Structure 1
């Protein structure tokens, strides 16, 4: 990062941002990182390791496949059948047959103060969330049935919006996947529509603490992906200044996340789906708050269920931090490999369990 000027270093170099904005991260927030580290030490034991090769699974998917076709999903289940059903209720890491990490699961990682920050920021997004529901009804028609449940809390609005300081809009399909041979100059990223109002900067500022913690969590889960995302942020900062795109430049300056953007959802009924625009090697992060009342999240393609009771509020709020392959490609950022679990860590975990059992037995003699 030596080529980054001092003016840029406060926001495009995320380590500098963490130092300069450390007052926004309280001591209680360390609980999330501690839970992440604990999850890394508690992989599913070898007997429960998934008998699936995630690369073969991804190669079986068609381009931009979103998991909305039930017959297609049945075909995938027949080709890659889960060997067993697994319920996770503690911090865990799920790996494939050759130790590639597929899932990080960190329940109870968000302290109450951080949940309140997310809740208040979501309340302030009420106008945008309301418009998202109205626009969706116009697009798909009233006959499609409800997609959002009414809220219980005063001031909270159901809806789903995407917030990104620099991304390609949905019609830019040519920019997804591996970089094309032809020049990409014809396709230029822009600011998401949600950041074109008068309160855009205040919205980004209200998201900074959760954004910093999501980024720090990615630093633990996938260091190579984290630094690739920092590099992308740096390149976009330089590019937006060179192009005179000052709104984008200003938003990037205050965007505390190494992720491309965030989808903010409130009381949304989400069908089974996958994100076809995210690099296969990447991790999106779902930060969830609300009362789900003994709910589980089902990952049917892996035969996994996640215990889901993440918060203290009566409504259900999700901030999904996402990466976009197209933006990394536009910045010419090399793709990192999958994060892997060291088999030696599995052996150490089994040994630790054995030693703890021995100690417990010794204490009863």
Structure 2
């Protein structure tokens, strides 16, 4: 049963994630084969099938490094700032950089106890989908202007895309401050959501396989945010959430109890 309201774009994401996760398990050999959902368009369906294969290839091609992620996480201070030279030097001495690691094929990088540190998935988002999504980045603000980024050696467009329908003003207590729609989405949210739809769906779908607990937590959080917006009559946020295709927002970071606290001196442990 699909827990997402039928009029939410997130419904497509959930269908795609269900298909990819089952297809992944099928290829690995722990589930029978599955039929693709007819609700997905051909381009997205092919991309999802490719994603499932790439995830499987990576999962079956592990590389282990001599690093203890749990011990490293424990060594970080609460509300780590990252600007204490003495502590940073101590971390560097206790956890020296691993030697250069060249990855050419889909791979999962594991720490010495088998925890997945990195999924390397080249070729997951094809050029067709990339070219469509680039149109969403044409309106540049000062903080995303290409002059702030290094020139790519691989013909990539410098910049970043970081839209979220529920960006919380960190370091400020509720209820005076509450989740807000990103300013960019307030101006042209519908166009942006349409332009980035397929790559965002693929990213959220990959999250379903990589970190299922966070995926479901993200869905719960987003549905709760939608209910909160409806109860408080924030129609703009409700409309934005209906068009938002990703299960992953900044709220998901706050809900991810399994990850080390991100380095933000204004943030409290969730």
The equivalent residue for 2:53 is 34
| 2:171 pairs with one of 166, 173, 179 | 173
SS in structure 2 of the partner of residue 196 of structure 1: helix
Mapped pair 1:281 → 2:248: no
SS in structure 1 of the partner of residue 109 of structure 2: strand
Alignment of 1:313-328 (within 5 A): none
The equivalent residue for 2:40 is 22
- Distance in 2, matches of 1:82 and 1:159, equals 27
- Distance in 2, matches of 1:219 and 1:253, equals 20
Q: CA RMSD in A?
A: 3.7
The equivalent residue for 1:162 is 162
- Distance in 2, matches of 1:174 and 1:60, equals 27
TM-score normalised over the length of structure 2? 0.72
- Distance in 2, matches of 1:174 and 1:216, equals 32
The equivalent residue for 1:257 is 246
User: How has the CA–CA distance of structure 1 residues 109 and 9 changed in structure 2, closer, same or farther, with 3 Å as cutoff?
Assistant: closer
The equivalent residue for 1:247 is 236
User: How has the CA–CA distance of structure 1 residues 88 and 13 changed in structure 2, closer, same or farther, with 3 Å as cutoff?
Assistant: closer
Alignment of 1:46-57 (within 5 A): 49-57=64-72
**Greater per-residue helix proportion:** 2
- Distance in 1, matches of 2:56 and 2:217, equals 21
Q: 1:63-107, CA deviations, whole angstroms, 9 ceiling, x for partnerless residues?
A: 444656666443212011246443222211112232221111112
User: Tell me, which stretches of 5 or more residues in structure 2 are unaligned?
Assistant: 18-36, 261-266
The Cα shift of 1:207 comes to 1.1
| 2:108 pairs with one of 64, 72, 93 | 93
Alignment of 1:81-230 (within 5 A): 81-82=96-97, 84-122=99-137, 126-127=138-139, 129-132=140-143, 147-148=148-149, 159-160=159-160, 162-169=162-169, 172-173=170-171, 185-197=175-187, 199-230=188-219
User: How has the CA–CA distance of structure 1 residues 59 and 147 changed in structure 2, closer, same or farther, with 3 Å as cutoff?
Assistant: same
**Greater per-residue strand proportion:** 1
- Distance in 1, matches of 2:57 and 2:157, equals 35
Q: Which has the larger radius of gyration?
A: 1
Q: 1:255-301, CA deviations, whole angstroms, 9 ceiling, x for partnerless residues?
A: 1111106xxxxxxxxxxxxxx96847359xxxxxxxxxxxxxxxxxx
TM-score normalised over the length of structure 1? 0.55
- Distance in 2, matches of 1:6 and 1:277, equals 24
The equivalent residue for 1:60 is 75
| 2:95 pairs with one of 80, 93, 99 | 80
Contact 1:240 1:249 in 2 (8 A): yes
- Distance in 2, matches of 1:203 and 1:225, equals 25
User: How has the CA–CA distance of structure 1 residues 258 and 90 changed in structure 2, closer, same or farther, with 3 Å as cutoff?
Assistant: same
User: Tell me, which stretches of 5 or more residues in structure 1 are unaligned?
Assistant: 135-145, 176-183, 262-275, 284-325, 330-365
Q: 1:326-353, CA deviations, whole angstroms, 9 ceiling, x for partnerless residues?
A: 8xx6xxxxxxxxxxxxxxxxxxxxxxxx
Q: How many residues align?
A: 239
